[in-house]
Amino acid sequence: MRIGLVSPYPWDVPGGVVAHIRDLAETLVERGHDVSVITPVDDDDAEVPPYVVRAGRTVPVPFNGSVSRLVFGPVSATRVRRWIHDGDFDVLHVHSPETLSLSLLAVFIADGPIVATFHAANPRSRVLALMQSPLQVRLEKLSGRIAVSPAARKTIVEHLGADAVLIPNGVHVARFADAEPLPGWPGAGGALAFVGRVDEPRKGLEVLLDAFTRLRAHRPDLRLLVAGPGEHDGLPDGVTALGLVSEADKARVYKSADVFVAPNTGGESFGIVLLEAMAAGTAIVASDLDAFRRVLDDGDGGLAGELAAVGDPVALANACSALLDAPPRRAALRDAGRRVVGQYDWSVVATEVMHVYETAIAGHHGGRVVEQPEQVVAEAVRQILP
Amino acid sequence: MDVVWALVAAALAVHAGYALWIARRLDRLHQRVDAAAAALDEQLRVRAGAAAGARPAAALQRAAAGALAIDGLGREREQAESTLSRAISTVNPDEALVTANARAGYARAFYNDTVRDALVVRRRRIVRLFRLAGSARLPAFFEMDEATPARRTIDV
């Protein structure tokens, strides 16, 4: 199948949507499909895989409490148009078409079957509320709509009056399961790990640092491994900050800890880091968020991780402390996590996405039964004029 | 006086243009509904075919035959497909049936999406007043119970 993927966000800036598109593209390529991804690329010198087509640079726009980098203009419109024309795709798969981005442009331009994946969960977005009417018209062109989480689906229902099927984010389970810990980690004194932007308050690193300082009072050899982009001043003793790491090193970071901590304070639609930690086989302590509960749900009424009250460093420290002292409990959570994460492996998720493509293509080709619109209007005009 | 007539003519032109735009949009939506309905019908038939060919399960085969016997996407079909869904939920489906069932579920979701889109426009006052929908029937949702076979997973 010839598949065109459209990314709204720059390829060379790390983020959940871009990672999703990359993993999906690579899984589909592995299965022998002909895949092309059009995406903004901010750095002209950035290396991109052969399936990536550059659409130009982005401009920063504040959106949903953080800064989105979007691209929308005549030059990118020309590039998208040429890409769609030359690509001759069986199906076009746009991501986050509710943003002013390449994705929305592609929806404007394309004629064939279009599938859209909605990633964002914005309970109250002024931008979306303003855009509702014009967006609805464009989104009528979509043959299939996917939401990656119940929260993302709720956002579509409330803001766009549309529905979507639920297909979760994927994870390459084997890549994380087979990774080696970093040399010297986790070590005898115990180790925690955090993955995410260090300067994004909603990722909750501040809460974790507070909890970590409390834990260190009784565990002088405890260490914390932090992986993620952004600047942070004055990290306490025992914290190793790696900055932005490669995908391969990220997998090793999860393996390097006794306990993976997700101290997020909100704004999380899905919780891909929890999938990665489960794939790596690392016990989890996470904030008690709806999105996290859903991902950790083992289907039998249990959870494949411990939850701690959101934004509460004492609760977080207690949960970590209990797990650090209980290797059997960690092993049980590890086993539960492996069972849960199997249904999120990209091999499973990509099969569902392919079913959506097949259904969208089938649903796009069909006959017409009503009269020509011009005749209908002419008839209406005749009725009102004497 | 000429100015007034010019204004009236301009207003009429704007409204006619708007009506034409809505009518075109509605025409596209009706085409989408028809195409999605054809796809849904096809996917449901494929599913019933996969169920009929599954390992001997009398209830499943009876339900599949019942679903295949009905044309169109009316009430009877909804009930027959719901019965088939429940029958599928009681067996351990093979790969072909899992796939057909997933596609039928997506086809139903996407059909209902297009119906919802079309109904939003059909309910507009300008559409009802000037009968911009022409002779097209009011699209109807397809409601049925979904089967809940075991979710796909991998062994880790």
- State the 10-residue block means of pLDDT for chain B, 156 residues long: 86 87 86 88 88 77 88 92 90 85 91 90 83 81 81 61
Contact B154 A338 (CB under 8 A): no
Name every chain A residue with its beta carbon within 8 A of the beta carbon of B130.
377, 380, 383-384
Helix (H/G/I), strand (E/B), else coil: A163: coil
* DSSP code for A73: S
Residue position matching structure tokens 């093979």? B94
Q: How far is A121 from chain B (nearest CA, A)?
A: 20
Contact B134 A348 (CB under 8 A): no
Closest residue to B152, CB basis, from A343, A362, A381 = A343
Residue B27 Cα, gap to closest chain A Cα (Å): 7
Measured between CB atoms, which of B114, B116, B134 is closest to A376? B134
CATH class of A173-344: alpha beta
pLDDT reported for residue A372: 44
| A191-250 per-position pLDDT tens digit | 999 998 888 888 989 999 999 999 999 999 999 999 988 888 888 888 898 988 888 899
8 Å CB contact of B27 and A370: yes
Nearest to A161 among B29, B35, B120 (CB): B120
Contacts of B134 in chain A (CB under 8 A): 370-371, 375-376, 379
DSSP result, chain B: -HHHHHHHHHHHHHHHHHHHHHHHHHHHHHHHHHHHHHHHHHHHHHHHHHHHTSSS-HHHHHHHHHHHT--SSSHHHHHHHHHHHHHHHTS---HHHHHHHHHHHHHHHHHHHHHHHHHHHHTSHHHHHTTTTTTPPPP-----PPP-PPPP----
State whether residue A367 sits within 8 Å of chain B by CB. Answer: yes
CB-CB under 8 Å, A369 with B132? no
Give the pLDDT score at A367. Answer: 29
Tell me how close the Cα of A322 comes to any Cα of chain B, in angstroms: 27
Q: Do domains A2-170+346-384 and A173-344 have the same CATH topology?
A: yes
Q: What is the distance between the alpha carbons of residues A195 and A200, in angstroms, rounded to a whole number? A: 12
Q: Do B110 and A339 touch (CB under 8 A)?
A: no
A168 CB neighbours in chain B (<8 A) are none
pLDDT at A386: 44
| Nearest CB to B116 within list A163, A339, A358 | A163
- Smallest Cβ–Cβ distance between B23 and the set A137, A367, A377 belongs to A377
Tell the CATH topology of A2-170+346-384: Rossmann fold (3.40.50)
Residue of A nearest to B114 (CA): A140
Q: What are the pLDDT digits (tens) for A88-132? A: 999 999 998 887 788 888 888 888 899 999 988 765 555 556 666
As a whole number of angstroms, the distance between CA A18 and CA A69 comes to: 12
Cβ distance of B109 and A163 shorter than 8 Å:
yes
ipTM of the complex: 0.85
- Residue ranges of chain A with pLDDT lower than 50? 367-373, 376, 380, 386
Domain segments of chain A as ranges: 2-170+346-384, 173-344
